[in-house]
Structure 1
Amino acid sequence: MTGRVSFEELECDDSEHKIGVAILENTASLNALTFDMLVQLKDKLMTWQDDEHIVSVFLDGAGEKAFCAGGDVRSMYHAMESETVSTSQAFLTDYFAVEYQCDYLIHTYKKPIIAWGDGIVMGGGIGLYIGASHKVVTPKSRLAMPEISIGLYPDVGGTWFLNRLESGIGLFLGLTGASVNASDAISLDLADNFLLSEHKPTILEHLQANSWRGIDDNHAMVSELLDSLSQPIIHHQPASQLVPYFSQIQAACSGNDLNTICQNILAIDGMGQWIETAKHTLEVGSPITAHICFRQVTQCQSLSLAECFKLELSLSVRCGALGEFQEGVRARLIDKNGEPNWLFKTVNEVDTTIIDTLFTSLWSEETHPLAQLDSIT
C-alpha cells in the first residue's frame, strides 16, 4: 500500500507564527495508515512541537470520504501469512510501536491540535483523532472501532478512551463495532465541535489571523474560534443513533458475565437499522475479540495512558501470532467472502487461558519497545 503525509506551514498575519497542516494522503484506501505515513507524521509532529513559530496543528485527511479508515492491515496480513514467526512479529512490533508512539504524542501534545474528522474515522484513524485537543465532526462523520469483525480488538488507546465513556457504552462500542455519527460523538464526548465541511478554509483563515500568545491561551483561543463557528449551526446535526438506546445499552452491558452481556445486547428491543447492524456485527464477530474487549473495560481501568499503550503493543503482536486476526482480515478484506473461520464459534466456548496469555507481556519492563514512551513528548 502506498501513501504519504503532506505537510504545509501557513504563515500567520503577524508574520511571526505559523499553522502546521498535516494531510493524510492515501485516498485509494480511505487514508489508511502505512508504516511510512506514521513515521512521517510522528517525526513532523515532534519537530513542530519544538518549533516556537508553530502555534497550532491542523490534522486532516485527503479526499471527501475519510479522515482515516484505519491501519494498513493488508500489509500486516501478508506479513503474517508469508513470513516466519520471528519476521512477522518484528514487522507487527515495528508497525504498532510507531503507531502508538504517534497516538501518545498527540494525546500529550503541548500545542493545540485540531483533528478534522470529516467522513470515516475508524480504527487507527480514531487513534490519531481521539487524542487531539480539539476534535471536529461534520454531518459526514462516522466514528467506530470495528476490530471485532477482523479478530483484533479496540487498540490505538482504546483501553484508555473506552474506559472513560459512561458505564457500558465503551464495552458496547467495542463488542459491536457500532459507528456513531456526529451527534452521538458530541453527546459521548468523543468529539468537541460540530461544523460543516465547508468551514475548513474559514477555520484556517481564522487561525492565521489569530493573535497568538502562550500555550494555555492558544488552546483557549482555538476553543473560542471553533465554538463561535459551531453555535449557529447546531440545528444541522444529524439525529442521534445511539442516544435513543442509551439506557438499554447500559442495562445490557452491566454485570460480570460476558456471555450474558452479549445475549443482553442481542435482545435489545429496536427495529432501527443502526441497532440491528450493531447486533449482527456482534453475533458474527470474533469471540476472542469480545473477550479481549471485556477485559479491557473490566480489568484495565486504573492503567495510565502510557501503560495502556504498552499493554496494547504486546497484545497486538500476540494477536498477530494467534491466527484470529489473520483469518479475520482474510475473510473481510482479502478473499472478501465475509465468512471468517474463528478459532471458537461462541463467546462461551473460548478458552480463557488463551486470553490470559494474550494479556501477558512479551517483554520485561526494561526491554519493552515502548519503555521510553514518555520521552517522546
Structure 2
Amino acid sequence: MTTIKYPNNKKTEPKEAPVLFNTEPTDCGHSIGIMTLNTPKSLNALSVEMCQLLSKQLEQWQANPDVVAIILKSAGDKAFCAGGDIRKLYDSMNADAPRPNPYATEFFSHEYRLYRQMHFYPKPLILWGDGIIMGGGMGLMAGCSHRIVTERTRFAMPEITIGLFPDASGSWFLQRMPARIGLFLGLTGAQCNASDALLTNLAEYALASNDYEAVLQSLVQSDWQVMFDNSYADSAYSITSRALASLPMATGDKLATSKLALYWRAIQQLMTTGGLGDIDALLRSDEALKKLDSDFAEDSWTQRAIATYRQGCPVSAALTYGLYHRVADLSLEQVLYLETNVAVNCAANPDFKEGVRALLIDKDRNPQWSRSLADCLTPEGRNYIEQHFENPYSADMHPLKDWLGEDALATQQVR
C-alpha cells in the first residue's frame, strides 16, 4: 500500500490531515485510490480545506492511468459526513460583513466546484456510505457513480432547522426522486435509511457495515487490464458494477423497512395538495393528516418529520419549495450556480445565522425566525424570497460564471 503524505503547515502541535489518501495495488498491476475523510470528532463535516484536498487529489488521479477507480469513505464509525463545517461561516456572518460575504463565497464555491468535478469525473467514484450522511455529505454521495449504504446509514437534508435550504446540490437530487418525495424530505428534514436510499436513487448497493474489506478485495481482484487489452473493452464503470454486484447484498432481515416505500402515496398526495400555503396547512393539522392517511400520520417517523417542519424556518420552507419547482429543467451546473446565489444571499440575511446560533452555538433550540410563512406569502414576502435567487455579484464576478456558457461541461458533452 502506498501512502500519500502532505506537509503539515503548523510548526507546533502537528495534527493529522483532514483527508487521507492512499492507493491499493490491484492483482493485475493497477491501483485503487482511497480517499478518507478524517475529522471524526466533527462527524467528518466538510471544510474548505477538505474540499480543496479532495479536488486536488481527484485531478492527480484522473491524470494517472494506473488508478482505475476511487473509493470515498470516512474515519470513525458514526458518520460518513454530517454536513458542512459552518462554524467559521457563522463567525463571518456579522453586521459588518461585506455583501456578498467573502467567506461564504469561498466556502460554497469550493464545495460546489468539488461536486461538479465528481459528477463529471471520468473514473468510477465508489462511496462507502456508512453512518450519518447529511447536507454536504449528501452532495458527496450524489456525486459518486457507485454508492454503497449499510444498515447503519442515516441520511437527511435538515437545513430547514438552521435557516438555510437543501443546498450541496440538494435542489438537483431531491427533484429527481419519485412521487414528490424529494420535496417532502427538503421541507421536513426527515431521516431516512439504506432502503430509502435505494428507493430514491441515492444508492445502488446495500451491504453489511463490516463488508468494507470485502468491497476493497473485490475491486483489487477484478480484471482491470481488459480495459487496455481488448478493443471492445469493458468500461471501468461496468467492471466496478460487476465487482460490487458479486458481493452478498444486505436483505430485508438486515435492513430497516423503507418508510418512503410504505408511505409514498400519502407523501405524494400531501405534496400535490396545492401551493406551499396548502401544504403548510396540512402539515400543521394533525386531524388533516389523519384524514389523509392515519397510519402515516400516527407513525413516529412521520411525527418527527412533521415536528421538524413546524419548528423550522419559514423562509427556508419557501426557498425549498421555490427551488424545487425552479430547477426541474436545469442542468447540474445551472442548479449549482443558482444554489450559490441563494446560499450567499442567505449568509447576508438573518435566519441562517439565527438558526446556526440556536442549534449549534448557544444550543437553546429556540430560534427566533424573521418571518412566518404567512409573511412569506404576502406580496412583500414573495419579493423578499425572490431576492434570494438574484445574482449577488457585480458584473462578471460570479465565482461559477463559466458554468452557464460554452465552458459548461454539460454543453461540451452534447456537442
The 1:168–1:233 alpha-carbon spacing in structure 2 relative to 1, beyond 3 Å, is closer
Greater relative contact order, per chain length (Cα 8 Å cut-off, separation 6+) = 1
* Equivalent in 41, 45, 51 of residue 38 of structure 1: 51
Q: 1:376, 1:41 → 2: CA distance?
A: 19
Aligned length: 374
- Maintained 8 Å contact 2:46/2:83: yes
The residue type equivalent to 1:268 in the other structure is L
Q: CA deviation at 1:231?
A: 3.8
Q: Which residue of 2 aligns with 1:76?
A: 89
2:361 to 318, 326, 334: 334
Conserved 8 A contact 1:195-1:230 = yes
> Percent of aligned positions with the same letter in both sequences?
38
Match of 1:104 in 2: 116
Aligned to 1:315: 342
3-state SS of 2:101 partner: helix
Q: Deviation of residue 28 (structure 1)?
A: 0.8
Q: What is the distance in 2 between the residues matched to 1:56 and 1:84?
A: 46
Q: CA RMSD in A?
A: 2.0
Which structure 2 residues correspond to residues 107-256 of structure 1 after superposition, within 5 A? 107-212=119-224, 213-214=226-227, 217-231=235-249, 233=251, 235-256=253-274
Q: Please tell me whether residue 301 in structure 1 is matched to residue 323 in structure 2.
A: no
> Alignment partner for residue 27 of structure 2, among 13, 25, 36?
13
* Matched residue, 1:348: 374
Q: For each residue in 1:60-94, what CA deviation from the matched residue of structure 2 results, as whole angstroms up to 9, or x when unmatched?
A: 0110000000001111111113x732287110101
Q: CA deviation at 1:198?
A: 1.1
1:97–1:370 contact (8 Å) kept in structure 2: yes
The counterpart of 1:371, out of the listed 394, 397, 401, is 401
Which residue in the other structure is 1:48 paired with?
Answer: 61
Q: Comparing both structures, which one devotes a greater share of its residues to helix?
A: 1
- Please tell me whether residue 268 in structure 1 is matched to residue 289 in structure 2: yes
Q: What secondary structure is seen at the aligned counterpart in 2 of 1:121?
A: strand
Measure, in 2, the Cα distance between the counterparts of 1:199 and 1:40. Answer: 27
Deviation of the 1:55 alpha carbon: 0.5
Following superposition, the deviation at residue 158 of structure 1 comes to 1.3
Structure 1 stretches of 5 or more lacking a match?
Answer: none
Taking structure 1 as reference, are residues 261 and 199 closer, same or farther at Cα in structure 2, changes over 3 Å only?
Answer: same
**1:358 pairs with 2:388:** yes
State the Cα distance separating 1:178 from its structure 2 match: 0.6
SS at match of 2:329: coil
- SS of 2:178's equivalent? coil
Structure 1 contact 365–371 (Cα < 8 Å) conserved: no
Distance (whole Å) between structure 2 residues aligned to residue 226 and residue 10 of structure 1:
17
Helix, strand or coil for the counterpart of 1:326? helix
Structure 2 residue ranges without an equivalent (≥5): 1-14, 228-232, 291-296, 411-415
Are 2:310 and 1:283 equivalent residues in the alignment?
yes
Give the 3-state SS of the residue equivalent to 1:197 in structure 2.
Answer: coil
| Pair member with larger Rg | 2
Q: Which of 51, 63, 75 does residue 76 from structure 2 map onto?
A: 63
**Partner-residue secondary structure (3-state), 1:55:** strand
The separation in 1 between residues aligned to 2:166 and 2:234, in whole angstroms, is 32
Name the stretch that deviates more: 88-97 or 273-282.
Answer: 88-97
Contact 1:159 1:297 in 2 (8 A): yes
Classify the secondary structure of the residue corresponding to 2:91: helix
TM-fit CA distance, 1:46: 1.5
Q: Distance in 2 between matches of 1:233 and 1:170?
A: 24
Change (3 A) 1:60 1:283: same
Contact 2:222 2:243 in 1 (8 A): no
The alignment's TM-score, normalised by the length of structure 2, stands at 0.86
Q: For 1:356, give the aligned amino acid.
A: E
